[in-house]
Structure 1
Amino acid sequence: MSEKQNLVEVYGSKKKRRAEESEVIIRFNQKPSAGIAYAAQCGHIDPIDAVDVAAFLLKNKDIFEKTQIGEYLGREVEYQGGFSLKVLHQYVRLLDFAGLEFDDAIRFFLSGFRLPGEAQKVSKLLYVFALPFLLSHLFTQYAQIDRIMEKFAERFTEQNPEVFPSADVAFILAFSIIMLNTDLHNPAIKEERRMTKDGFIRNNRGICDGQDLPEELLTGVFDRIQNNPISLKEDDEARE
């Protein structure tokens, strides 16, 4: 094969790859499973390898619609025989939270996708029920967020074992931070009803196996969330 023929072939191969990748994006943004299936059909990923699919989602987190990534990662346990749950597990394991402040780790985690839309519904209930009620009664109803944040909490605690005594404590605080974020930054919430620093500390009393978390930890979280909101789908839409 001549050098010219080789260059033509390489160009044709790259052009074909770009066309396939463009089609993958279109299909994924319409239906995640369809985009993944097409990527597999084109030989870009192994559709039965959870690590490969997780890496594929992470690689394309700034290209695919983040809402669709979140919907796929949060699918019910039974979906595809539990495969999407395996993908979620591997997706989280590809991330490095070591040494990050807890809320900064959440911010980093959620930069790759948007939590399913139920997050807004949960945050609205903050005004009606105390946090312990939410934790004990609502996680089963909002199972998508539950699964996603549970995996995050496990990974953070694994990489930062000195911060919390268990992943359960990290999970509870993560959920509380998500609610705080919406509470402070959703313009639909009246100023006089927004969470105060004292209220946030009070809501999280006793979540550390019956003990209180250090007040400086909660104060730092509140200040950072107040000054720099975490990007959530519902809040972004409310600001438009």
Structure 2
Amino acid sequence: MYHLLASLCVCALLLPPAAFAVEDPLAKGQGDHVAQVIGWSQDEKRFALRLYAHAQRPAQGVETAPEACEGYVNPEGNPFHGSLAVLAYEGTRLLALFPIQDEGACTPLSEAQRRLDAATKRLASLGIPLGSPSKELLFSSGPGSLQVQAGPQAPYRLEYVERILPQAPEPKSGMQRGTLEQELYVIKAEVRKKVLSRRTAYAYSTGAAGYWRPGLDRIFVSPSGKTLVVVGAERVGNLSGGRKSLRLLGVLSWVGETLKPD
């Protein structure tokens, strides 16, 4: 049971068409996340992403952290406390949200099993069987590039570029604001082409040595190597600690010899 929950971590809440008011947790980069892609549709246009969101650290004066729920472990097999969910996507569009554990009270194992059984059927109806392997390509914390050796157009290189455009500091409010520009290029046969471009605003508190560092966390490659799920990270914190929030930056697919956004 424990291994089953750790490998799947889903339950049964399929969003109806009117429910898109439910916010995608990867849309704004809020939370303290770890993510894994755990399933693909046969055409690799849809995928399921397992999302761990760590519980908020205890407030000042509270010495004990919340205990991990029975049977729940992180990707390394260690006890975990926080929320667990699976997100189903078609490209960058959220199709369904499958929570398994809220950050509050622990979900009993019997209830988790019931949700898991129902969720497996729901995901199957979306054409996303669980368990299809994904290769993870890890980036450094800042701009850089890496070589891709698998897939229909391999070998090729991916290059990540970012520009941080800060506004004038706000000493009275203790806030730093600005704009982040992120780009991803594919380099093949000495030809460099932009395949992803994103521009977003940012804001963070500079109090207590506050910091904010964006970057590209990793790229998940589909079993055939045709589809790439690009996940960014924003590290935010101060002297009291920090967190790593994830964002879904884009989904790219090879169409012939061209890498295009989905």
**TM class, shorter-length:** under 0.3
TM-score between the two structures when normalised by the length of structure 1:
0.24
Q: Which has the larger radius of gyration?
A: 1
